[in-house]
Structure 1
Amino acid sequence: MDVFDLLESEVRSYSRSWPAVFDTALGSRLYDETGRPFLDFFAGAGALNYGHNNRHLKKRLLDYLNGDSVVHSLDMRTVAKRRFLEAFQEIVLAPRKLRYKVQMPGPAGTNAVEAALKLARKYTGRQTVVSFTNAFHGMSLGSLAVTGNAMKRGGAGVQLGHSVTMPYDHYLDRPSHLPLLERMLDDKGSGLDQPAAVIVETLQGEGGVHTAGPQWLGDLADLCERHDVLLIVDDIQMGCGRTGPFFSFEIAGIVPDIVCLSKSLSGYGLPLALTLLRPELDVWEPGEHNGTFRGTDPAFVTATAALDFWTGDGLEGQTLAKGERVRTALERIAGDHRDAVAEVRGRGLVWGLAFADPARSSAVCRAAFERGLLMETSGPESEVVKLLPPLTTTDEELAEGLEILARSVDAACAR
């Protein structure tokens, strides 16, 4: 028995899917301790949009550390934080005419969601939050209460309440269910308390790569405004360019009241999360929501460097172009396996192959690992093979990975 089996909790998951001991990483590849390379179409569950050990980010980080600069500062003022806030305002917020205050709630995405839920309830004085089928918002209790997955919810060990689940766009193959929500909000006999907020992902990664259409998102924003309900967009996995633009909601032309960011925000895999909120919602008392690691300075440094990728429109265009190549390849694979593949889903550089038999998706990921490609499954039954390559993946690497995927689907469907 090795030290991992001896000491590590049974809760571990990725190490079971990928029985390798990884040692080094660069760009779109990981290497195990024997030197075997693996092409990474997982990208730290979306935390490595710019790849592993991106040279530009690493140089900024090493220079900062070599200067004995501040590493831990709670919410004190630091040079690194100031530079990040100035860059974030100049490169991200101002060009999009977004007026947000920036809160550092803690190091992980679920901290950003918890802060958003608490703030919405504090501001409105209401308790109920509306979420959607197949949603995933994190593993802490507040986030689990607005998450759809039964297995994850079951791990809470307590009753999860103060939330109502509504159908996501195209649930049951219908284009919209918002009239149902509106009717329930209007009807005093519906049993739905006036909500504090609605929380939504514009594209559900963990839930099975379900995409919400721009019209549906626009209608949802309009509904929230008319009913005095705050709109929270969870952009933790789909933000920072994963779907093309920096924010995934830009495609719908909406301005959420609150936005949750994390994962690739630091650009380097360092923990960093933000909750963005309209200035009039900033009713916090000092220290009312805090944490020891709410914005570490090395993460500010790499996050500032990562914003250099967004000073022009190059990355967004490249991501959308690569996404079309992925779509074409997946549709070809689906056409070759019509009896096995139920649907191709995605946008930008997040894609999914949904299988009629959930066992097939796991078999595909196992076959891909054997061939040197890392991917994970998603969806309530793990029925979707999910692709999350780094945005910086080269055209050659993308073609290589898609070829491995095609061979892996062939192998899994032949069994």
Structure 2
Amino acid sequence: MTIFDQLESEVQCYARSFPTTFDKAQGEYLYDREGRQYIDFLAGAGTLNYGHNHPVLKEALVDYIMRDGITHGLDMHTAAKAEFLEAFNQHILKPRNMEYTFQFTGPTGTNAVEAALKLARKVTGRNNIISFTNGFHGVTLGAVSATGNSHHRGGAGVALGDVTRMPFCGYHGRDIDSLKMIEKLITDPSSGVDLPAAMIVETVQGEGGLNVANADWLRGLEKICRQHEILLIIDDIQAGCGRTGSFFSFEQAGIKPDIITMSKSLSGFGLPFAIVLLKPELDVWSPGEHNGTFRGNNHAFVTATAAIRHFWKDDAFAKEIAEKSALVSAHFKKVSDRYGVTKINTRGRGMMQGLVMQSGEIADAVVAACFERGLVIETCGNRGQVVKCFCPLTISIEALERGLNIVSEAVKEVMAEKLSNAS
């Protein structure tokens, strides 16, 4: 038995899919203790958009540590925080004509969601939150109440209330107007749905299966929120920081959320870091009313600032992402065309795309076959049926094509075995 088998909880998940001990990482590559190289199509579940140990970010962090920069400062003012705020405002908000107040929460995405939900209820005086089918917002009690997945909800151990589930874009098929359904339910005094404080939504559902909300649907959702004085919360924790091509995933829709939650790749280096961006008029918190010992990670401020200044000073990085996204789309379309959309379909947007298999078992078999070939990739979806390409945005074209070819080979092997067993 390994030390992990002896001492680590059964709750561990990714280790079961990738049974090795990783020891080193650089760019788009992981290395285990035996020195075997793996292409990383997982990227820390979207935490490593800029790859592992990016040299620009690493140098900034090492320099900061070596000069004894502040490590932990609660929510006190620090030079590292000031530089982050200035960089984010200059390179992200101002070019997009956005004005938001920053709230530094506990260090993970679920902390940001908890703060956003509390704030929405405090501002409006209402309890109900509308979330959406297949949405994932975290696993602490408030966030998991808004999460759709029964597996995660089942771990709560208590009743989960004050959340109403509505159909996500396309949930009932393309012929059903879910926006009309939502508006009918919130305006009918006998529907049983209380007027909500907020709606919380992902523009692309990462864990839920790479379901994409189209721009018209997002604009329609925003219109409903404005008409009924409901706050619109965009959960950009997984889809943000360039994953869909633009820094924020909702930019193509032209909407202006009231509240935005961010984490994962915000630090750029895999360091825990989360924020809530809120319209200034919503900042009704009393000092210390929502806090946390690790709100504002100074090391993460340093790497986040370096990432923003390096990658988002102009539109060159966004163009690079678009080129790689098109490559992923083309590869996955070939796989789907080979077997037909009834057996394998494509889904997603930007650099969060996947192959929809017929079952979670088939998807798991593809993941295992990929791992044998030196590729780390995961599944998502309501039944774990989507093989999800989530590589670093900085991946080289050569490594991206090699990884996509591995996926294609793994699918071919699994489908051949499936057909053989069927006959």
Aligned to 1:120: 120
The 1-side partners of 2:384 and 2:69 are apart by 44
8 Å CA contact 2:359–2:383 kept in 1: the answer is: no
Aligned to 1:403: 405
Aligned to 1:311: 313
Residue type at the aligned position of 2:87: A
> Does residue 48 of the first structure (1) align with residue 21 of the second (2)?
no
8 Å CA contact 1:340–1:413 kept in 2: the answer is: no
The 2-side partners of 1:398 and 1:346 are apart by 17
8 Å CA contact 2:45–2:390 kept in 1: the answer is: yes
Residue type at the aligned position of 2:74: L
The 1-side partners of 2:389 and 2:289 are apart by 39
8 Å CA contact 2:360–2:384 kept in 1: the answer is: yes
**Offset from partner CA, 1:297-347 (integer Å, 9 cap, x none):** 100000000002000101111111111110010010111122773420111
The 2-side partners of 1:361 and 1:292 are apart by 40
The 1-side partners of 2:339 and 2:363 are apart by 13
The 2-side partners of 1:314 and 1:43 are apart by 21
Residue type at the aligned position of 1:334: S
The 2-side partners of 1:95 and 1:340 are apart by 43
Residue type at the aligned position of 2:379: T
Moved more, 207-216 or 356-365: 356-365
Aligned-partner SS, 2:50? coil
How do 1:229-378 residues align onto structure 2 when only pairs under 5 Å count? 229-308=230-309, 309-338=311-340, 341-378=343-380
The 2-side partners of 1:36 and 1:357 are apart by 30
Deviation of 1:385 after TM superposition, in Å, equals 0.4
Aligned to 1:107: 107
Residue type at the aligned position of 2:272: P
Shift of the 116–339 alpha-carbon distance from structure 1 to 2, 3 Å rule, reads: closer
The 1-side partners of 2:173 and 2:33 are apart by 46
Aligned to 2:18: 18
8 Å CA contact 2:133–2:167 kept in 1: the answer is: yes
How do 1:170-249 residues align onto structure 2 when only pairs under 5 Å count? 170-174=170-174, 176-249=177-250
8 Å CA contact 1:231–1:257 kept in 2: the answer is: yes
The 2-side partners of 1:179 and 1:78 are apart by 48
The 1-side partners of 2:327 and 2:382 are apart by 27
Deviation of 1:414 after TM superposition, in Å, equals 1.6
Deviation of 1:357 after TM superposition, in Å, equals 2.3
**Offset from partner CA, 1:31-58 (integer Å, 9 cap, x none):** 0000000000100000000000000000
8 Å CA contact 1:341–1:353 kept in 2: the answer is: no
**Offset from partner CA, 1:352-385 (integer Å, 9 cap, x none):** 1111122110000000000000000001110100
The 2-side partners of 1:37 and 1:144 are apart by 36
TM-score (norm 1): 0.99
Residue type at the aligned position of 1:94: K
8 Å CA contact 1:41–1:374 kept in 2: the answer is: yes
Aligned-partner SS, 1:171? coil
Aligned to 1:134: 134
Aligned-partner SS, 1:231? strand
Aligned to 2:148: 148
The 2-side partners of 1:375 and 1:325 are apart by 17
8 Å CA contact 1:214–1:252 kept in 2: the answer is: yes
CA RMSD after TM alignment: 0.9
Aligned-partner SS, 2:172? helix
The 1-side partners of 2:245 and 2:65 are apart by 32
Residue type at the aligned position of 2:409: R
Residue type at the aligned position of 2:269: Y
Deviation of 1:184 after TM superposition, in Å, equals 1.2
Gap runs ≥5 in structure 2: 418-423
Moved more, 134-143 or 333-342: 333-342
8 Å CA contact 2:335–2:344 kept in 1: the answer is: no
Aligned to 1:389: 391
8 Å CA contact 1:363–1:412 kept in 2: the answer is: yes
The 2-side partners of 1:233 and 1:402 are apart by 30
**Offset from partner CA, 1:71-120 (integer Å, 9 cap, x none):** 00010000000000011110111111111000001100000000000000
Deviation of 1:200 after TM superposition, in Å, equals 0.2
Aligned-partner SS, 1:346? strand
8 Å CA contact 1:266–1:302 kept in 2: the answer is: yes
The 1-side partners of 2:155 and 2:92 are apart by 37
The 2-side partners of 1:247 and 1:300 are apart by 19
Deviation of 1:185 after TM superposition, in Å, equals 1.6
Deviation of 1:179 after TM superposition, in Å, equals 0.2
Deviation of 1:286 after TM superposition, in Å, equals 0.4
Residue type at the aligned position of 2:86: E
Residue type at the aligned position of 1:406: S
8 Å CA contact 2:138–2:144 kept in 1: the answer is: yes
Residue type at the aligned position of 1:17: S
Deviation of 1:186 after TM superposition, in Å, equals 1.5
8 Å CA contact 1:340–1:357 kept in 2: the answer is: no
Aligned-partner SS, 1:172? coil
Aligned to 1:69: 69
Aligned-partner SS, 1:248? coil
Deviation of 1:14 after TM superposition, in Å, equals 0.5
Percent identity, aligned pairs only, is 53
Aligned to 1:84: 84
